[in-house]
Amino acid sequence: MSADSPAPGLQKRTISGINNYNCKLTAAHPRPLILVHATLLTVDSWWTFAPVLIKNGYCVFGLTYGLYPSIPGFGGLAPVEDSAQELATFADNVLTKMNATQVDVVGHSQGGILTRYWMKYLDGAGKVYRHIGVSPITHGTTLDSIATWAKAWGIFAPAEPLFDAIAPSFYEMVSNSTFMTKLNARGDTAPGVIFSNIATKYDEVVTPYTTCFQKDAGVTNVVLQDLCSLSLNEHLTMVNSLVVLQFVLNQLDPSNAKAANCLSLLL
């Protein structure tokens, strides 16, 4: 565990106030905020972020997507396209019930690409105002070069049917997969959306960590350790980092931004 992660990312906790459709949107926070978790996690993984966001006046919503019968209780395992459709259905319901036309989204890991697929290939165009990626798997991963070596040794393709039977999303998120190529075709942003991303140098899942960043113009890309060198967070515990949380708060409300640095650990 890192100095900037008070509890493991897999820990299950109840989040009070999330998915409250009686929450009132305000001039300060005029859009619903949707939190989209990482692979193997669930909506409960937002137990650090969500209470603070709710306390700050945001109407916060979240879902557990991508459940698959092979490994009960773990999210993000189903085909990514199916999970993106789950997000689309959930977001449309939030928009309808909250009488809103757009949402803001914070996505962790796989959660950082579902919204982009929804906007690009489903019916999400124009429905997202701001998207914040927390260690998003934007351009896929080499899994610390494991996938690269597996391809070189000729065992990558033969193993795919096994993985597809238990967690189809895994192979889709490898660098240069058919899915990742489709997702990033013609650019890795969407018109009219404000994008920002934060990554960690100690990411062991999205590798190299710089592949978290979007390449198109106008995107804010930040490395956690450039904000606070004491932050040792790896991939899963990015959503337990108070420095990352302050970064997210600043992106959501730039006019009231506070410094995101090692002093954020004292929040």
Q: What is the mean pLDDT of residues 147-157?
A: 43
Tokens of 244: 């990352």
Tens of pLDDT, residue by residue over 48-105, are: 999 999 999 999 999 999 999 888 899 999 999 999 999 999 999 999 999 999 999 9
pTM: 0.90
* Helix (H), strand (E) at residue 179: helix 178-183
CA-to-CA separations, 127 to 24, 30, 64, 109, 233, in angstroms, rounded: 19, 13, 20, 21, 32
Q: Is 125 left (phi over 0), alpha (psi -120 to 50) or beta?
A: beta
| Nearest CA among 267, 247, 230 for reference residue 4 | 230
| Nearest CA among 248, 108, 105 for reference residue 190 | 105
End-to-end CA distance of the chain: 19
Q: What is the mean pLDDT of the chain?
A: 89
- Which comes out higher in pLDDT, residue 249 or 10? 249
Quick check: 193 pLDDT over 90? yes
**What whole-number distance in Å separates Cα of residue 37 and Cα of residue 239?**
9
Quick check: 112 pLDDT over 80? yes
Quick check: 189 pLDDT over 80? yes
Quick check: 149 pLDDT over 50? no
| Nearest CA among 265, 264, 248 for reference residue 136 | 248
| Nearest CA among 97, 38, 98, 32 for reference residue 64 | 38
